[in-house]
Amino acid sequence: MGFLDKLLGRAKDTAGDVSDKAAPVVDKAQDSAGQAWDKATDVADDAADKVEDAVSGLTDRDDAAAENAPDTPGSGPPAA
């Protein structure tokens, strides 16, 4: 076996070793990323729900105020 064969053979072995050792780290990183994505999605969903509730509350109050407002002259649409 020549010098280059030995060198390239070692490079293949080293790359295989590194790959084997990296696999669990990659798996853990993917799991962590998935958990972070889930958490971010939950937070965004909660925020959207709160905004929806706030907007709905404002709309309901505006509707109630409009129903209870007295009809006064000039309160309707402008005359054409």
Q: What value, to the nearest 5°, has the Cα angle with vertex 59 and ends 51 and 71?
A: 165
pLDDT tens track for 41-68: 999 999 999 999 988 888 777 666 667 6
pLDDT given at position 28: 96
Model pLDDT for residues 12-22, shown as the tens digit of each residue: 778 888 888 99
